[in-house]
Structure formats: C-alpha cells, structure tokens
Amino acid sequence: MTRRGTWILLIGVGVLALAAGLILEGYSLRVLTLGLIAALALLGLNLIFGYCGLIHLGQAGFVGIGAYTSAILTTKAGWPMVVSIPTAVAVTALAAGLISVPLLRLKGHYLALATVGVNVVLELVAKNWVELTNGYNGIAGIPRLAEAVSDSTPERTFLFIATVTLLLGIGLSARLRDSHLGRAMIAVRDDETAAMVAGVNVVRVRVTAFVLGAVFAAVSGVLFAHYTGFISPTDFGVPISILYLVMIIVGGEASIGGVVAGAVIMTFLPELLRDAAERLVAIGLSDGGLIVRLLDEGYLAVYGLITLLVLVFMPKGLAGLIHRLSTKAEAT
C-alpha cells in the first residue's frame, strides 16, 4: 500500500464510519461498532498471518486476556480505566511473548493446532478460575468507556472512540508494513531460507509479529469489555478465532483495507441473513422451513460456504478482486 493509498483508506474509513453513525440507529449501530472493534483484532492477526505467514487460530484468546485483565482490574481492584487499559495491553503483550518462544518453534499445521490449544487453555482458565473470572457467569458491571468520556449518546460516542482507535491502528499497520520489520516479515513469509541467508533473524521477527498482533488484540479486547459492560468465556473461544481467520480470508490477507472490510461485512452478515429470512416469510415464499432456518440460525454454515467460494474463485479476497478489476479498467 502506497502512502497515498493509506491516506485514502484512512479518510474513507473515517468518513464512512461517521456517516453510518449518523444514519444507523439502535441495534445496527451496535453491530457496526462491534465490527470496528473486531477489525482491530484482525489488524493484529494480519501482521501474524498476512505478513509473517503464521497460521494463528488463537487470536480470540489474546483478545480475551486484554478484556479480562481490564475488567478484573476495574471491577475487583477498583482501578480507573486510564490505568487498567494500558496495563491490560502490557499484560497481553507479556503473555504473548512468553507463549511465543516455545510455540513458534513449530511450523505449518502443527503451529495452527498449538495456537488452538492455547486458545482452549485460556478459555478453560476463564471458565474455571471462578474466584477471579466468575467462571461461566462472566464479569458484569464493567465501567463503560463512553460514559466516562462524554455525557452525550453512549452508542455514538463509543462509535467515535472505536473509529479513532481503528484509524490509529490502520496508520500503525501501514507504517509497520513499510518498515524494515514489515519487509522482514514478508521475506520470512515468502521464503524463510532466503530470509535467513539475507541476514534476517527469523525467530525474532516471528516473536515480534506475534507480540504486536497480541497488542492489537488486547486493544480490541479492552474496547469490547468497556463497550458491552459484560464479558464471558464464550466471547473469546476458538469459534471466534476461526471467525477472525474467515474475515481475513474474505477481505484479503495482507491487505489493510481488505481486513477492515472483511470484519465489517462478516459482522453484519448474520443480521442480513436474518433479515432475508424474515422477508421470505413476510412475502409468503417460505413458512419457516429449511431455508429460513439456514438463514436465521445456520449462519456459520453460510460463513463456511462463503469462505470456500472465496478460496476457489477469489483466493486473495475482496481486496484482490478490486485490484484485479481496477487493473483491467486501467488497461482498457
């Protein structure tokens, strides 16, 4: 992505998010905010998977570390959010650093399975360490960031906070992509042996990418916790990590714009499917049969079908399709 392209993306995301915030109301506004929060976690996963080429299926676990750390510090220890949020990010980065040292000795599907195991362990800790995490009951009464920032409409206030944070994340991702570290990540992804011969410290690059990805995840987690006011272990399970990977594949790996688009589109998709099911019933084309149940309840199956179609027909996702169409348009 060129510097001009980065500025276009920043302006485009900012304008579209704020315009949507003025147009959307109620539940749709909430879904948009959740999509922007998810996009932050995807920017981190994009560093690990898109740039460094590491198959990571445990990103939701690190989102959970950030969310739980800030939630526990504010509800049980009485810390203010201005202290708990950076502490949560630091704790998540430290945990990622400690985990990555033995983890990144693995490669390919072994690494993928290991990251799933990490996510499962973190989820089990959240479910069973009842004294600290309240177990399956989750943590309620988490201070809401929007209420601490402004007395105006909380939903629109937090949408502004999420938008500004996402724009900062996009800018940082673009800078990392164009830095020496970003080029080293891409070199490791494309040819690890050639990168080592060129003098790249492969282990250090991988660990750095993993930790930076966890930092983005932690920011997403603390925003989620202080937006919803309630978190539970199921919010950060393996299915969420798989969903993050699906979002990146649909949007386009190694594409910042594609990652953001994939997050927002796939967050809205269940609501669009439910709306389609209601419309089918309303116009009499279905009486609540298999198609309606698939659209309303089986959205994960639709996710799987979309992912399969993207892998077959658009291996580089929506970003690759747009690039290909723009290239053809310029050629003609």
Checking if the pLDDT of 290 tops 80, the result is: no
Binned at pLDDT 50, 70 and 90, residue 108 comes out as confident
The backbone torsions φ and ψ at residue 47, rounded to the nearest 5 degrees and listed phi first, read: -65, -40
Helix H or strand E encompassing 140: strand 139-140
Checking if the pLDDT of 273 tops 90, the result is: no
Q: Identify the pLDDT of residue 152.
A: 74
Q: Which of 56-65, 106-115, 305-314 has the highest mean pLDDT?
A: 56-65
Q: Identify the pLDDT of residue 298.
A: 62
Burial code of 4-37, b = ≥16 C-beta within 10 A, e = fewer? eebeebbeebeeebeebbeebeeeebbbbbbbbb
Specify the pTM. 0.92
Tell me what the mean pLDDT of segment 214-231 comes to.
97
Asked if 229 and 81 count as a contact pair (C-beta separation under 8 A), the reply is no
Q: Identify the pLDDT of residue 280.
A: 64
Checking if the pLDDT of 288 tops 60, the result is: no
pLDDT one-digit tens code per residue, 150-172:
777 888 999 999 999 999 999 99
Asked if 201 and 44 count as a contact pair (C-beta separation under 8 A), the reply is no
Q: How far, CA to CA in Å, does 179 sit from each of 7, 96, 173, 184?
A: 17, 22, 10, 9
For residues 282 and 203, give the distance between their C-alpha atoms in angstroms, rounded to a whole number. 57
pLDDT one-digit tens code per residue, 36-76:
999 999 999 999 999 999 999 999 999 999 999 999 999 99
300 compared with 115, residue with greater pLDDT: 115
Percent of all residues in the chain with a pLDDT value above 90, rounded to a whole number: 64
Tell me what the mean pLDDT of segment 201-225 comes to.
96
